[in-house]
Amino acid sequence: MREPSIDRAWAIRTCITLPAHKPRHNVSGIQSFPVKGISDPVMKTVIAAIGRETDATSTVESLTSGPVAVSAVIPCLNEEQTLATCIEKALQGIAELGVNGEVVVADNGSSDRSVEIAQALGARVVAVETKGYGAALLAGISAARGAVIVMADADDSYDWSALAAFVLKIWEGYDLVMGNRFAGGIMPGAMPRLHRYVGNPVLSLVARVAFRAKIGDFHCGMRAFTRAAFGKMQLKTHGMEFATEMVASAAHQRLRMTEIPVVLYPDKRNRPPHLRSFRDGWRHLRFILTYAPDYLYLLPGAALLGLGLALTLLLVRGPTTIGGVYFGIHFLALGSLLALVGFNVINLGVLAKTLMARRYTGISSRIVRLVSSRYSLEAGILAGLALTLLGGYIDAGLAMTWIRTAGGPMESTVHMAFVATTAIVLGLNLIFSSFLLNMILAESPAQTRGTEPDDGAHS
């Protein structure tokens, strides 16, 4: 691994002090290392950059005396080959802004020298036991002190020194600033063709429609956001789908979003990436579908229910011919099937939207507002009971007809039997789903994660 080049200003900003005998903690809570006995070339480079006669401690105190403005959060798992370069570039970007800043490395259980390198360069290392890209970032972001947080990978595929452009955009009033690799440029060898021309464009298109977010590149790993916005997002996923969840939640919370061009470079590691194309692609798609109930449930359900009811009403009195096409009992059976499936899908969609609103506070939905303000368990039971009784009444009439005919053929009543059965099943579904909806509404709404963590938690 090459030795990083660090100038004096950057090295001082990493908050490394030079005690004479033993490690100690300076005002920023970052461990210092002794000069004597250090064999690590990275540590030697840092120390040489600062200079032994520099009064580093007093300089560090002056740089960290105020609140941290910018935190650079880097998820890490065995990134010793590129981590030093990323930390240096992040420090350069913070220095260009002229504000107090920090680098937080969220280590996900590295077995190489990543932690040692990060500490040597003055980054604050957060150990994360839960495995996963999202888990590492959740822990790192939660531990960050900055009012603005910038995140990107540790493989040097994004230029960390360009973080100032993201922060300046945040300072314009945006809550989330995304990078767009397709607008900024993808260097040769930086992204597999399958990802570039199929995976990322298709998943971004689906997510853009599902969440009504005008973001061209949902999966760009470099982005910035405010601590307040992070608290409102209430992020929960631990895998690669974390990238999609952030944009989706920001859209649900109606946060101000924009994107800026960013260049994607080939990563500098000599090992395969952690990303697995089909596994992680499915995790993204699974998240999009799960948290877009309008498109997964309500629209398809409404189409199925509408078509089913139309066929049922058309054939309730018997077969008919339209435009020379005969519609008989088989189409009535199809209509009954579509109506039942459509109703149940809509039912699940209403439950899903209500559950989302209880889990993520701040989500606005007309359906949820309507359910919360107008729905009552008693009304659901009465409506379901009415449908069930209607179907029972029709079936009772058919039974009386069968008795009067002494058990004779009743082909002319088959259509009404289908209608009766459909009404009974719909009514029973409505009754029991009303109890489930009532249980969900009785739960307390999700508590928003704290956006202002206690400073003592980081000491």
Structure token digits, residue 454: 């206690």
Tokens of 124: 């604050």
Q: By percentage, how much of the chain surpasses pLDDT 90?
A: 56
For residues 76 and 193, membership in a common domain is answered with yes
Report d(CA 135, CA 106) in Å as an integer: 9
Closest CA to 80 of 130, 104, 116: 116
φ/ψ (deg, to 5) at 363: -70, 130
pLDDT in tens, 77-109: 999 999 999 999 999 999 999 999 999 999 999
The CATH number linked to 275 is 3.90.550.10
For 157, residues 6+ apart whose C-beta sits below 8 A from its C-beta are 190, 221, 264, 265, 266, 267, 268
What whole-number distance in Å separates Cα of residue 402 and Cα of residue 412? 11
**What does the pLDDT read at residue 160?**
96
- Partners of 320 in the β-ladder: 327
d(CA 362, CA 370): 15
In a domain, 125, yes or no: yes
Window from 96-105, 297-306, 338-347, 393-402 with minimum mean pLDDT: 393-402
Whether the CB-CB separation of 274 and 133 falls below 8 Å is answered with yes
Instruction: Clarify whether residues 176 and 298 are in a common domain.
Output: no
Name the residue range of residue 169's domain.
66-291
Same domain as 279, residue 336: no
Res 2 pLDDT > 90: no
- Say what the pLDDT of residue 444 is: 54
Instruction: Examine residue 379 and state whether it is found in any structural domain, yes or no.
Output: yes
pTM over 0.75: no
**Per-residue pLDDT band at 370 (split at 50, 70, 90):** confident
Retrieve residue 282's tokens.
Answer: 């499915």
Q: Note whether 257 and 151 are same-domain residues.
A: yes
Dihedral sign, Cα of residue 117, residue 122, residue 126, residue 132:
negative
Given a contact cutoff of 8 angstroms between Cβ atoms, the answer to whether 223 and 182 are in contact is no
Residues 120 and 131 sit within 8 Å (Cβ to Cβ): no
Helix ranges restricted to H, 76-122: 83-97, 114-120
Q: Is residue 456 part of a domain?
A: no
Q: Find the mean pLDDT for residues 4-16.
A: 38
State the DSSP string of 291-344. T-HIIIIIHHHHHHHHHHHHHHHHTTTS-EEETTEEE-HHHHHHHHHHHHHHHH
Evaluate if residue 441 carries a pLDDT over 90: no
For residues 268 and 322, membership in a common domain is answered with no
For residues 336 and 307, what is the distance between their CA atoms, to the nearest angstrom?
10
Cβ contacts of residue 44 below 8 Å, gap of 6+?
A: 38
Domain for residue 16, yes or no? no
Instruction: State pLDDT tens for residues 235-275.
Output: 999 988 999 999 999 998 999 999 999 999 998 877 766 66
Written as six digits, the tokens of 172 are: 């314009």
pLDDT at 233 over 50: yes
Q: Supply the DSSP symbol for 392.
A: H
Question: Looking at the structure, do residues 231 and 330 belong to the same domain, yes or no?
Answer: no
Pair (337, 202) in one structural domain: no
Q: Name the domain count of the chain.
A: 2
Is the residue at 8 inside a domain?
no
Round to whole Å and give the CA distance between 267 and 274: 12
